[in-house]
Amino acid sequence: MSRLVIQHPALIDAAVEAFSAAVGRQPSEHRAGALAAWTDVTLASNEVTRLAERFAVDAEIVPARASLSDYKLIAFDMDSTLITIECVDEIADYAGRKAEVAAITEAAMRGEIADYNESLRRRVALLEGLPQEVLQRVYDERIDLSPGTERLLAACKQAGLQSLVVSGGFTFFTDRLRERLGLDYSRANTLEIADGRLTGRLVGEIVNADVKKQTVEQTCARIGCSPSQAIVVGDGANDLKMMSIAGISVAYRAKPIVRSETTHGITHCGLDAILGFFAESPSSQGTGQAPSVDSGPGKAR
């Protein structure tokens, strides 16, 4: 049995009525201005997509009896997923090279650069000579959590899931986010620093798509579950391999190549819209709380 769920931080009645007409009945669950859901739905996926695009809502067909507690791990990409920025782009801004670095980042995330390792090395090389204090400035001044991050993590913890951030970004930021958010595990790249300045090089193995996948597999093994009991959230092409092994993969405000290959997508809501995919989750029962919106995301301090 399937469940159709539509979500938006300000869900309008017209959207609910349009989906109700397509399904042939009123929703079995309706949180005003937040979420509507119908059980035992056979609506074609292309019709769901058409209506979602027409009314600019997030709409997904999910298993009717799915529970968040069925899963044991939630894993996140960091840049443009757990947080709202690409850290390497913001670091490059202090060298006056943000546009140059951002163009490489965007092409890599769209899957247009075959050699991710080389694309990262090229970007990091452009950071050579920057004082290491720039990293703290980026963290303090430019990093915001994606909307709904803390609510989602609180619900996952309550349901017994452990948490992982695995990133092609840098340990300077994942270490601080791990502490800030109480994440259980983290893995990322290490920037080389000498005499208080970035050398433009990385230390150790690059965390690319293959390493991300391996990290999810290793973390699942460590906590005694299979990857089918993992929820993996990301936005770029280098997230696809770790998403491919997950029980649920969520494309968060993602590039088209990612959205086309994942279980679910979130475009208009915050990360806590993931809770709406489950009929039973600690923070989705009777709260009436709308999925988070962009305004006022929490500072990652």
Residues involved in catalysis = 77, 79
Closest CA to 191 of 125, 238, 137: 125
Comparing CA positions, the residue from 244, 252, 251 lying closest to residue 227 is 244
Angle at 219 between CA 213 and CA 221, to 5 degrees: 105
DSSP at 161? -
Question: Which residue, among 132, 138, 40, has the nearest Cα to 83 in the 3D structure?
Answer: 138
Give me 293's structure tokens: 């919106």
State the DSSP H helix or E strand holding residue 61, giving kind and residue range, or none if neither: strand 58-63
Dist CA 237 CA 252 (whole Å): 12
